[in-house]
Chain A
Amino acid sequence: MHKYSFFVYSNFDKVAANIICLLSGCSNMYQYDAIDQQIVEERVNQFRDQTQRFLNNELPEAEFLPLRLQNGLYVQRHAPMLRIAIPYGMLSSKQIRKLADISRRYDRGYGHFSTRQNLQLNWPTLESVPDILAELAEVQMHAVQTSGNCIRNTTTDQYAGVIDDEIVDPRPYCEMIRQWSTFHPEFAFLPRKFKIAVNATESADRAATQVHDIGLHIKKNDAGEIGFKVIVGGGLGRTPMIGTTICEFMPRKDILSYLEAILRVYNQQGNRLNKYKARIKILTKALGIDEIRARVEAEWEHLKGRENTVPEVEFERLQSFFTEPAYKALSNNPSSLTEKLSQSPGFARWYERNTFAHKKDGYRIVTLTLKKTGIAPGDATSEQMDLAADFADKYSFGELRVSHEQNLVLADVEQEQLVELWEAAKDAGFATPTLGLLTDMICCPGGDFCALANAKSIPIAQQIQERFDDLDYLYDIGDLDLNISGCMNACGHHHVGNLGILGVDKKGEEFYQVSIGGASGHDASIGKIIGPSFSEEEIGGIIEKIVSVYIDNRTEEERFIDTYRRIGIAPYKEAAYAKNN
């Protein structure tokens, strides 16, 4: 039925968008027009030329480096790593099939979904990257600004558009920011990378906006107008910080000029001598929020009300891409679902953990977990990607999302179809029923793949998954974010895990530092290090001891983080460093 919905529109653009949508086999996503397509194609040509000149020794390594980084290409421990952009985590089934195909033909048959909702390939050859980019352009994808000292992929809530308590769908705004930030001529050589995340719900912050260079919270003011609370100066890395509010309410029409003012102040005044002091969080801390606000506002005085003021018609255009798919009129809790829930504990567990309430009766949001024990968190094989595409087509209007916890999400599944989907997902290794539990870890690729890492992270994740393989115990522990980074660049977000593990190098040996009390939601906080680091062999046992302190001290309603906040770090420290009897 959705396929015919374009007839109701009178606006030509919308009709065209829906026709393109039909052809590409997706539902409610942004669709490129001729301008978007031309930009990615010209980028492919530019990068092909740059790569060729590098290979011919016409372009020095030092000059090629930032050029390739701005295209997501790192030179890694074993081979180049290519990071493909998945704007705000949205994929059509056609796009993920292309990713599966590229991983199969140019890589070793798998890819790694990252915490910034992107996909990383670990084994492409440098020579093949331009061809990969050309293939991505065929399905409206690219690798633009997935690395380098520029504005990175804008991220948001993986449940955008399908949850009840959302103020508005954040995706049209993410797309607006994507276009504004893509090849921005003034901000391609910033002091350091720059990440923007958008949240649109008051009940949760699934995009970890407070630990981004800019976090945007969509709000409505008393007059009902849509705007943004702007948070600046959050970040992880060596000096983790929670962002500070720079503006309580910026009307949506003015947000681009305001972002431009922030970036212009940062581009001119951020530290360029020491890359560890170069993020906007350091500038914000050094100046103080009042001073940086004054400087941004002084700049904004010149910019507001001018060309970057976004007209209503543009918001309408952007919103027209994210219309609701053709939901059926259904009721909640059909008998097929309730019967299975009472009969099958395995299904009930999966339903409880891995599915989430949908705004429409009769639908449910389903997370396909990429956290099977023994496999690097976030890794998916080409076969799994193809299968996820099939699931998207069959159960969720041909659309799929990537979450910052490195899982895949089917946003619009009929409750009637949950049992069938669960059976199929189980067979594919997609249904580990542990979403949000201790073993649903965020983890970077670590020393097995990444040249920056001090230590391996994947074997640590595996060790913990193996140690906590008793599902009943895992459920009893309940909500607990455990995040692992292989170095202090913090790609695994260890600072904001309720438990964080950081790989460190001690005289050439790999050790692991444990922190406790981090959080990434509205109650964001940075974890505290409990003490000296542990060896790889010790780490699983230490996590177990820390979890036991929680079990022994919790009250009935308390999650892990709540107990920690009540009793403080001392009991955990004591347990971790107690001498074995």
Chain B
Amino acid sequence: MPVSTSPQGTPLWQRRTTRAQWLQYAAWMMGMSLFLLCWKVISDNTMWVFVEDAGRQGSDLISRMLPPRWEYASVLWKPMWDTLNIATLGTALGIMMAFPVAFLAARNTTPHPLVRSVALTIIVSSRSINSLIWAMLLVTILGPGVLAGIIAIALRSIGFVGKLLYEAIEEIHPTPVEAISATGASRLQIMNYGVLPQVMPAFAGISVYRWDINIRESTVLGLVGAGGIGLQLNASINSLAWNQVSVIFVMIFVTVLVSEWVSARVRHAII
């Protein structure tokens, strides 16, 4: 905080020193230049012939999609139901595995720093791989089908739920935990009485939020053969049946909308 004195003797205050101010201008300048440079590189690498008729291609695609072939919906109920099941069972499985991992990963509840680093590794490796990639791996191992989808969703959810939950555990109020320890409670009792009630709202909120995300993710798992509506989407695109693709889009859109509404209501009720 640069403070100086004016010729009249009144103290002056500026937010930054002149030097810091110039450095800031320079940083902005560099950032802008980098952005423009990247813009140029991308522009040079774009085949503009394809972009120029983008409007025509786009409207062509839309005209093929319309009107949607609504009869096709009758084939979709079963895969849609599979998709919901993959999301829900996968989330449940993921939460069950994430719950103990989070307690082992939180600094204030972990039994040993070594255990903590193992738990953190589990969380990071689960998070670093997208569920689509998990599904690809699992389809190779387990064969195509709903099971591979469920496990893919579960494995991806461990990292998400585990990370947010362990952060919630680290942010709890320490005094109730102290008070429960002072009664002579055992470690598990301290978790049960001191920690768990404090993280319960966060835990419920995180779980419902992850379920909501998983519904969206499970709609594409079929692209790699892991069951659900993505299988039909893939088949329709491959056979250029665009009027079926639009039906699938509408269906996914409505499902996601409903799941968002449900998760918002549940979170509101808990918190």
Tell me whether A and B are bound partners: no
Q: A residues near B, CB below 8 A?
A: none
Q: B residues near A, CB below 8 A?
A: none
